């Protein structure tokens, strides 16, 4: 009988569905490693260390990074980009969800700040036509800029309605 050794970086013992669920709970829902650990034990009877949870998250992050980078490349090469940001809560903490969207891709980024630095991190040298609301950072765009029509319509409706 011949036995092969599994490389250490591939040893987790958890399949893709459980790994995806762990990443979802921690990444999207912002649950702590401890909360996920408690959940897995109480619901599935699965004992796992917080370090094991982190290892799963790291592996999932590595697995999806090429896809995220491909989406970013497509979004940042578009001639027209729609940019917006909105408040986002990770548990009770306020962060910001940013988007750069084109007709072919939508790139999302969660950032701790609503700032010019965050905007620049999102677009990373992109120089197309910016479609955005009136946020001061967008008004400073040196390239061509189109005001977001949905924002203009909402503003016009507000002005037209009796107070």
pLDDT for the residue 3: 72
Write down the mean pLDDT value for the chain: 91
pLDDT of residue 149: 87
What is the pTM assigned to this prediction? 0.77
120 or 11, greater pLDDT:
120
pLDDT tens column, 34-53:
999 999 999 999 999 999 99
Q: What percent of the chain has pLDDT over 90?
A: 74
Question: Coil, helix or strand for 121?
Answer: helix
CB count within 10 Å of CB 131 equals 20
pLDDT in tens, 108-163: 999 999 999 999 999 999 999 999 999 999 999 999 999 988 888 888 888 888 77
The pLDDT value recorded for residue 72 is 97
Instruction: Provide the pairing of β-strand 93-101 with 145-147.
Output: unpaired
Mean pLDDT of 68-76: 97
Q: Which helix (H) or strand (E) holds 59?
A: helix 50-76
């Amino acid at each position: 009988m011949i036995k092969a050794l599994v490389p250490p970086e591939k040893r987790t013992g958890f399949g893709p569905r459980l790994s995806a669920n762990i990443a979802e709970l921690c990444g999207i829902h912002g649950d702590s490693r401890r909360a996920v650990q408690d959940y897995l034990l109480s619901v599935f009877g699965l004992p796992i260390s917080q370090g094991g949870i982190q290892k799963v998250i790291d592996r999932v992050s590595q697995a999806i990074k090429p896809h995220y980078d491909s989406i970013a490349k497509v979004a940042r090469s578009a001639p027209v980009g729609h940019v917006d940001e909105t408040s986002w809560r990770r548990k009770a903490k306020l962060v910001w969800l940013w988007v750069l969207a084109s007709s072919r891709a939508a790139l999302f980024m969660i950032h701790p700040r609503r700032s010019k630095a965050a905007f620049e991190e999102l677009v990373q040298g992109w120089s197309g036509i910016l479609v955005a609301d009136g946020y001061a950072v967008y008004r400073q765009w040196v390239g061509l800029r189109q005001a977001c029509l949905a924002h203009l319509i909402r503003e016009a409706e507000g002005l037209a309605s009796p107070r």
